[in-house]
Structure formats: C-alpha cells, structure tokens
Amino acid sequence: MVGPNGNESSATYFILIGLPGLEEAQFWLAFPLCSLYLIAVLGNLTIIYIVRTEHSLHEPMYIFLCMLSGLDVLISTSSMPKMMAIFWFNSTTIQFDACLLQMFAIHSLSGMESTVLLAMAFDRYVAICHPLRHATVLTLPRVTKIGMAAVVRGVALMAPLPVFIKRLPFCRSNILSHSYCLHQDVMKLACADIHVNIIYGLIVIISAIGLDSLLISLSYLLILKTVLGLTREAQAKAFGTCVSHVCAVFIFYVPFIGLSMVHRFGKPHDSLLPIILANTYLLVPPVLNPIVYGVKTKEIRQRILRLFHVTTHTLDP
C-alpha cells in the first residue's frame, strides 16, 4: 500500500472479496457451502472415530486414512469459517498476521496431505507386490514415524514462507482475489521484485507435489505390473483395495494442479475461475474422501452402517 507521502509501506490488513460478480448471491451460496463443510467435518470425524475404536482396523491402510481425514478437517477449517463470515456478515477484512497464519496453515497442511497420499500408495505397493513383507515393513511404530515425518516435512517446506512474505513492501491494492489467503495471491500485490517468491513456490511445488505425484504414479505402475500376472479373482481383489486411494489422489491433485496452472498462465480478467478452483481445492476433497472410502471400502462401510444402526436403535422408544 502507499503511505501518506507516496512511499512504500507494509500492509497491515488485506481485503478478501469473496466471489466477484456474485456479491448479491453470496449470502445464499453460503448455505450450501456451509452444509458441505459440516458434511466434510462430520464425515471425516466419523472415519477417525471408527478407525480409533475398531481394533481390527488398526492396520497401516486405515491409520493412514485416519491421518488423511484429520488433515481434511484441518484444511477445510482453516478457510471455511472466514469464508462464511465474508458471505454472511461481509467481514472482508483480515489482518496481515492472520492472513500469514492462514496462508501457512493451508500450504503446510496441503504438503502433509500429499505426503500421506504418497504413504498410502507405498502401503498399497507393499501389500500387493510384496504381501509377505507387508507386516514387517509397515509396522505400527513405523507408520507413526511416517505420520510424524509428513508433519515435519509440511512445516519445513513452508517455514521460509513468512520470511519471504514479510520482506515484501505493499504499495498497490490490498484487495485479494480469493476468499482466503494464498501465497500466489498475496505476492502479486507487492511493489518489489517477487522472483524469489516465485522460485520458492516452484521449488516447493516440484519437491512436494511434483515428486509425490511422480512416486505415486510409479507405485501404481509397479502395482499394475504385478496385478496383471494374477488370476482374475485376485486382480479384482487387488484393484478393489486401490480404487478408493486412486480416487483420493485424483480428488486432491486435479484441483491443485488446475489452480496452479490458472495462477501461472491464466489471464488477469479470468478472476472467477481461480476462485472457483481454489474453493474446490479446499472443500471438495474433505467432502468426497469420506464418501469414497465409506462406499468403496467394505470394512469402513460395515462399521458406518453398524454405527448408525446402533444409534437409531438406541433412539427408538
């Protein structure tokens, strides 16, 4: 922003505009968005509860699923409450430090989720390609360490982010084009050279999302090679254990890659498309992941049906 003498000044707050061109409809659009958020939270907490209380599900695949559900709750919660405040109460102002915290949370949690998806792919690879070694390779202590490594990796990748943002002077508009704070969005408002931020962003994307998606693809190529040598019955069983994870991978990576492409190559006047992709990226995976795993995973589906059957039975007079 510009100080009273026309000099560069540091931003103290930003303005989140919500959905440009749809300001009059935002109030009503908030209701289905809020419903989706509640479904995401309820669905993922149900998955966590079932995995935690069912001793038979204390296996690597379900523990990783539990981690994924926890991250989905945190990612959606990091953005949706503020978004609802914008749509319902026109609370568009966000303080600089709060924006920085939200930005750090969203990007670091996304990095953690990408790592967990990679760990789930590795789990399926070992289970299908080396089934006799699965119990010794992916022990519960090792799974716990992988979960901790995902957290450390996500935080470490984003640790430079506050430094790179705070060094920038803001002398242009303080209006952000999204309903929450993103690194790509904030750095474009700076009136200084942002090549360091651009290079940093590329390094993070390549070393996290790019590397993880490449390793996930490689693991499934090896899985496919192994499965093609099995009987039809064994093939169907093997593919059945992978369908849910493949869906989760596409649900996470497709919106993320689409959002990155639009930010990098999109035209300035295409303001609504990146906002829609951004909201999809943070809300759709937390909503769909519990549904996909609840429908496609027999063990989870049976526990969910049993849980709600018991609840309904206890409420009957």
Query: DSSP of 243-290, one letter per residue?
Result: HHHHHHHHHHHHHHHHHHHHHHH--TT--HHHHHHHHHHHHHHHHHHH
pLDDT of 264 reads 67
pLDDT along the chain (317 residues), means of 10: 44 81 80 92 94 90 95 93 89 92 94 96 93 92 95 95 90 82 87 90 90 95 90 82 90 82 60 72 89 85 77 44
pLDDT of 7 reads 43
Cβ 182 vs Cβ 201: under 8 Å: no
pLDDT of 6 reads 39
Query: DSSP of 20-67, one letter per residue?
Result: TT-TTTHHHHHHHHHHHHHHHHHHHHHHHHHHHH-GGG-SHHHHHHHH
pLDDT of 310 reads 53
pLDDT of 266 reads 58
pLDDT of 4 reads 38
Residue 260 CA to residue 290 CA, distance in Å, equals 25
Query: Going from the N-terminus, what domains does the chain have, and what CATH number goes with each?
Result: 12-298 (1.20.1070.10)
Q: Tell me the CA distances in angstroms from 104 to 11, 24, 49, 99, 101, one per residue in order.
A: 17, 31, 28, 9, 5
pLDDT of 316 reads 42
pTM above 0.85, yes or no: yes
pLDDT of 3 reads 42
Residue 310 CA to residue 300 CA, distance in Å, equals 15
Two structure tokens written together for 205: 């994307």
Task: Give the DSSP H or E segment for 16.
Answer: strand 13-16
